[in-house]
Amino acid sequence: MKIENEAIPENWEVIKFKNNVGLLGGYPFDSKKFNEDGIGLPLIRIRNILKGYSETFFNGEYLKDYLIEKNDILVGMDGDFHISRWQGNKALLNQRILKLYQIPNSQINLDFFYYLAQPFLDRVHFRTAGTTVKHLSNKDFYNAKFKLPPLPEQQKIAEILSTVDEKIAVIDQQITATEELKKGLMQRLLTKGIGHTEFKDSPLGEIPKSWEVRKLEEIAEIKGGKRLPKGKSLIETKNSHPYIRVADMKMGGVDISNILYVPDDVFPSIARYIINKGDLFITVAGTLGLVGEIPEGLDGANLTENADKITNIKVDKHFLLYVLLSPIIQNAVEREQTNNAQPKLALTRIRTFKVPVPPQVEQQKIAGSLKCVFEKIENQKDKKQAYLQLKKGLMQQLLTGKVRVNQLLEA
């Protein structure tokens, strides 16, 4: 791969990858000796690179060269060409995966190259754009040249970026812990309530004696959305007619970053199919069971035909939202998906979903407790996103020499 025709920063050099970084390809282990019973050593396949763990094990003899340790750098050679540090314990390197390793007297610091590699792999991936199944070869690396700073600067850049990665890893652990807390809290509060000692059997299992089980249609109205007339398209130009697609929906709410709009001349034909702030939605086609609340900024937006709105809610709105997000409803959605060849949730089926209904005061208490946990997770995700943006900016500046390490340290 040719180096880009642009100026090289002061004191940087164009260096060949070959003879500066070691490559080890994985071994074609005998699939007859694979198992999922935890016998032997985990076997790393391409699907496991980003996951950081494998549920497939190899029970047989192997050469120690193919033994992978935690933090070894791996590259998938098929598909999307991901690079990642292995986060699991000792494991075996299967075929079509490369291990990158440091070699003596190299001009390339491997920790630095770890951050430089993904943009390079993305360029190789783009270069093979018409190929049905994309493949990476050792030659793609060996023929490559890179603009690199002196080794001490490479090391310092790697340290700066790895510090950000460590922060992101800590936040990921916090999110995982809070998600587990949320899961346990939802299970307890939405089935056992607060402070109850007497329980009864119900279609949803054991619930507090003072609770009821109602069909969703008994506590709210459920109405469908509407597609655009045939031959008409949404537009990016902002007007007063936003249109909420399934692509804009996420668990809990709406991502407004890529909202499209209904042309003014088309709006009258679908003007009746709107959703208002505070209404809830549930996706009914494609991705099933996404549930969330409509924010104030999308009050009066048009709603896709692939989602239904839940409006005129007679119970605490946020209590109902958390029930819809819980396994009580999500498991029902999953059963519908399993039983139908074309994933789709019928309006008539949604109306009959069974919902636990505590007294109003308890609904509010349960919703308040869960809201704190949900908000904590959102704050943690926002914090992670801020660090990811920081990392992206640092990579763009430091890996190209636009900002030198000394400039950053002095700033």
**Does 28 lie in the same domain as 143?**
yes
In this structure, the answer to whether residues 187 and 282 fall within a common structural domain is no
Please check whether residues 233 and 336 belong to one and the same domain. yes
CA distance 89 to 54: 10
300 & 241 share domain: yes
Any domain includes 4: no
* Residue 342 covered by a domain: yes
pLDDT the model gives residue 341: 63
Same domain, 391 and 343: no
Same domain, 257 and 122: no
263 CB burial (10 A radius; 0-12, 13-18, 19+): middle
Q: What is the pLDDT along the chain (411 residues), one digit of tens a residue?
A: 445 556 899 999 999 999 999 999 999 999 999 999 999 999 999 999 999 999 999 999 999 999 999 999 999 999 999 999 999 999 999 999 999 999 999 999 999 999 999 999 999 998 877 677 789 999 999 999 999 999 999 999 999 999 999 999 999 999 999 999 999 999 999 999 999 999 999 999 999 999 999 999 999 999 999 999 999 999 999 999 999 999 999 999 999 999 999 999 999 999 999 999 999 999 999 899 999 999 999 999 999 999 999 999 999 999 999 999 999 999 999 988 766 666 789 999 999 999 999 999 999 999 999 999 999 999 999 999 999 999 999 999 999 999 998 776 565
Distance between CA atoms of residues 300 and 294, nearest Å: 10
Last residue of a domain, one of 357, 377, 398: 357
Distance CA 297, CA 281 (A): 15
Residue 41 lies in a domain: yes
In a domain, residue 5? The reply is no
- The reported pLDDT for the residue numbered 338 is 64
Domain count, the chain: 3
Same structural domain, 264 and 352: yes
Q: Name the nearest CA neighbour of 226 among 297, 291, 288, 309.
A: 309
pLDDT of residue 408: 65
Q: Is residue 86 part of a domain?
A: yes
Whether residues 22 and 63 share a domain: the answer is: yes
Last residue of a domain, one of 357, 379, 396: 357
Residue 245 lies in a domain: yes
Asked, for residue 3, whether it belongs to a domain, the answer is: no
148, 178, 202 — which closes off a domain?
A: 148
Between CA 190 and CA 367 the distance in angstroms is 10
In a domain, 8, yes or no: no
Tokens read off for 84: 């990642």
Q: Same domain for 174 and 270?
A: no
DSSP assignment letter at 334: H
Helices marked H in 193-235: 216-219
What CATH number should be reported for the domain holding residue 47? 3.90.220.20
Specify the CATH number for the domain of residue 393.
1.10.287.1120
Are 198 and 248 in the same domain?
Answer: no
Residues 65, 165 within the same domain: no
Per the structure, the complete domain to which residue 284 belongs is given by 212-357
Task: Examine the domain organization and report whether 76 and 118 are in the same domain.
Answer: yes
Residue 156, CA distances (Å) to 112, 168, 234 in order? 9, 19, 48
pLDDT of residue 342: 67
- Full strand arrangement of the beta sheet holding 41-44: 34-35, 57-58, 41-44, 91-93, 67-68
Contact indicator for 115, 161 with CB cutoff of 8 Å: yes
